[in-house]
């Protein structure tokens, strides 16, 4: 079987930085690791045949001399986030650390991850036996695959020559590249995904420096993993939407198809193939609102999203058409519901070319080409969009979805040379549902979108989907999304899970630091005996009693009760007079 080497020149810095889209062969097979049906030609040091986990090897030197361990841990955290996606067979494990000096090699039966740190005399940053120059990229992933699109090996290299790196997620002032975010993107390529048309997606082709919304997986990327690597017994939880996009009877190549939930958050997106077809798979059972839009305006000289940003296979995508109105579609279990679109030729007379991120300062004008986030605060903020041909009056700037109150809209010409600006006052309601959304400008019957470039931020982050606040896990674990850091894990073997220790403020790595269970009071009145104890929300407790502490057996009183707060009351209505001994048991 013939081997092929694919090069994902994946991240270009915005300083110069399926959404999921799958790379499929002629038979429609996506590029993927076949972990549930291992190819015998895949080496055991590439995929562990016992655990069915993809094994990767890190070069021990990282990027820097002083911070290399944190750099390696950031890569481990990125892999762990993809593995943490629920209902999938995707697993990673780490092999032995490698000595410095490794290179890209699709035939060495190892998945290698490293930083290249030396340039040639003419300044080129060469890898892959000096066949590939990655000078303009942040990082590049090289999957090797068979004709049937089975990945048999993959290597990843970070540009340590022309790029600078940092690892502290709490450092919001750094203008260097966050290792974790870039590695998260690269692991998407590592498992077979192409670039996303959504600006806030980890798999978007460009990233801004520092800590940004590209950290953490979107719902779109979660769906991608569940679609390609989903477990079979979870299939009944999902369905799909399929269809085609046509223009004057012809199939439309490269049209963006967006599925939003009732709040306007993007649940999934993709781009139509050369036959004008699309698939939105692994959608939870619900109703969705679909629309179609071009990747960018044909008038834009430097668009925010280009056809080749998805991949070179999408060069020449059709962009000369009007965005559609919404169509509502309900997803049924294990079925693909067909929803087709017919679009109109011609583009809006205006487009969006840059973003003014959220600010509370009227006189602060920032010209950004990347996505941004908004915190859920019930206060007035300003957002805006730029381009050379925005309307100068009678237009509206909006965010898709509900939960937003709009104020005054202002129009300013030539704020930056060649850029007009539309700004609108917004206030996010306290109950707004967080998620990735789109911006659009509307005037009359014309509307222009920029898809997925804004994220309504949650109050707490949970990039590993276990219900714990990531900031607590980052504080207590060097690899915050690892198996040891998960909510159900008990790394200090004290009998209490990380969730128990998190809720009670204890140290999850100290066996002598654990939640204590203590009965605080027992009172007797006409209604019975009331027992109060300190509890852990969500944990189940069983109450027992007996008359003689030394001789009689413990009697269970009622069924277990689930705690709702940090203290709990229980009333034994059957006992009002006789002396009793009580015991409270915290259940596993």
Mean pLDDT value across residues 131-150: 91
> Is residue 506 one of the residues assigned to a domain?
no
pLDDT reading at 545 higher than 90: no
Same domain, 326 and 279: yes
**CA 305/CA 310 separation, integer angstroms:** 8
Q: For residue 290, give its domain range.
A: 231-342
Angle, helix 179-190 to helix 68-83, in steps of 10 degrees: 50
Same domain, 101 and 212: yes
**CA 188/CA 140 separation, integer angstroms:** 11
Per-residue confidence (pLDDT) for residue 3, from 0 to 100? 56
C-beta of residue 322 within 8 angstroms of C-beta of residue 347:
yes
Q: Mean pLDDT score of the chain, rounded to an integer?
A: 90
Confidence tier at 18 by pLDDT (50, 70, 90): very low
- The Cβ-side half-sphere exposure at 357, using a 13 Å CA radius, reads 16
Three-state DSSP class for 468?
Answer: coil
Query: 373 vs 537, which has greater pLDDT?
Result: 373
Residue 72 CB contacts under 8 Å (≥ 6 apart), including other chains: 58, 60, 62
Same domain, 79 and 16: yes
> Domain boundary residue among 434, 456, 478?
456
Same domain, 89 and 208: yes
Q: What is the pLDDT of residues 86-139, one digit of tens each?
A: 999 999 999 999 999 999 998 999 999 999 999 999 999 999 999 999 998 999
- The Cβ-side half-sphere exposure at 122, using a 13 Å CA radius, reads 3
Whole-structure pTM value: 0.87
Same domain, 201 and 236: no
> Is residue 224 one of the residues assigned to a domain?
no
Domain count, the chain: 4
**CA 304/CA 351 separation, integer angstroms:** 10
**Longest CA–CA separation in the chain, Å:** 92
Per-residue confidence (pLDDT) for residue 8, from 0 to 100? 58
Same domain, 52 and 156: yes
Same domain, 568 and 424: no
Same domain, 61 and 156: yes
Q: What is the pLDDT of residues 267-280, one digit of tens each?
A: 999 999 999 999 99
Three-state DSSP class for 243?
Answer: strand
pLDDT reading at 465 higher than 70: yes
């Amino acid at each position: 079987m013939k081997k092929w080497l694919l090069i994902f020149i994946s991240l270009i810095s915005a300083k110069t930085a399926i959404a999921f889209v799958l790379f499929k062969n002629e038979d429609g097979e996506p590029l993927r690791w076949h972990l549930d049906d291992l190819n015998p030609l895949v080496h055991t040091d590439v995929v562990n045949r016992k655990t069915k986990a993809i094994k990767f090897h890190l070069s021990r030197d990282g990027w820097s001399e002083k911070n290399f361990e944190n750099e390696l841990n950031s890569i481990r955290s990125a892999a762990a986030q993809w593995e943490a996606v629920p209902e999938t067979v995707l697993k990673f494990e780490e092999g032995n650390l490698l000595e410095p000096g490794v290179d890209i090699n699709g035939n060495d039966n190892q998945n290698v991850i490293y930083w290249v740190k030396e340039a040639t005399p003419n300044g080129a940053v060469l890898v892959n036996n000096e066949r590939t120059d990655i000078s303009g990229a942040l990082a590049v992933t090289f999957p090797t695959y068979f004709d049937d699109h089975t990945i048999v090996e993959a290597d990843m290299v970070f540009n340590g020559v022309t790029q600078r790196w940092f690892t502290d997620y709490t450092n919001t002032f750094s203008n260097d590249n966050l290792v974790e975010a870039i590695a998260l993107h690269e692991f998407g390529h590592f498992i077979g995904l192409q670039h996303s048309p959504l600006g806030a997606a980890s798999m978007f082709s460009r990233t801004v420096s520092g800590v940004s919304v590209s950290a953490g997986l979107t719902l779109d990327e979660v769906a991608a993993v569940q679609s390609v690597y989903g477990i079979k017994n979870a299939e009944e939880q999902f369905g799909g939407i399929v269809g085609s996009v046509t223009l004057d009877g012809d199939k439309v190549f490269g049209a963006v198809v967006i599925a939003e939930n009732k709040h306007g958050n993007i649940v999934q997106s993709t781009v139509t193939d050369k036959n004008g077809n699309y698939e939105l798979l692994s959608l939870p059972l619900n109703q969705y609102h679909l629309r179609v839009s071009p990747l960018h305006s044909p008038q834009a000289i430097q668009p925010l999203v280009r056809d080749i940003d998805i991949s070179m296979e999408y060069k020449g995508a059709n962009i000369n058409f009007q965005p559609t109105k919404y169509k509502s579609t309900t997803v049924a279990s294990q079925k693909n519901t067909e929803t087709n679109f017919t679009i109109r030729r011609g583009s809006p007379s205006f487009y969006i070319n840059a973003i003014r991120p959220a600010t509370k300062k009227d006189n602060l004008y920032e010209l950004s080409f990347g996505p941004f986030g908004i915190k859920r605060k019930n206060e007035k903020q300003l957002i805006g969009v730029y381009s050379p041909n925005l309307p100068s009056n009678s237009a509206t700037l909006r965010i898709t979805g509900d939960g937003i109150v709009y104020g005054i809209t202002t129009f300013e010409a030539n704020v930056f040379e060649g850029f007009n600006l539309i700004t609108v006052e917004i206030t996010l309601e306290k109950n707004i549902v967080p998620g990735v959304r789109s911006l659009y400008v509307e005037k009359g019957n014309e509307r222009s979108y920029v898809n997925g470039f804004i994220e309504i931020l949650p109050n707490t982050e949970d990039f590993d989907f276990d219900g714990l606040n990531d900031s607590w896990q980052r504080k207590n674990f060097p690899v915050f999304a690892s198996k040891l850091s998960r909510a159900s894990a008990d790394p200090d073997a004290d009998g209490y899970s990380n969730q128990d220790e998190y809720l009670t403020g204890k140290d999850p790595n100290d066996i002598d630091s654990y939640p204590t269970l203590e009965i605080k009071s027992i009172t007797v009145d006409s209604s019975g005996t009331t027992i109060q104890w300190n509890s852990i929300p969500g944990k189940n407790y069983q109450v027992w009693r007996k008359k003689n502490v030394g001789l009689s057996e413990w009697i269970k009183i009622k069924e277990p009760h689930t705690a709702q707060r940090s203290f709990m009351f229980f009333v034994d209505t059957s006992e009002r007079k006789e002396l009793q001994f009580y015991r409270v048991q915290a259940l596993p």
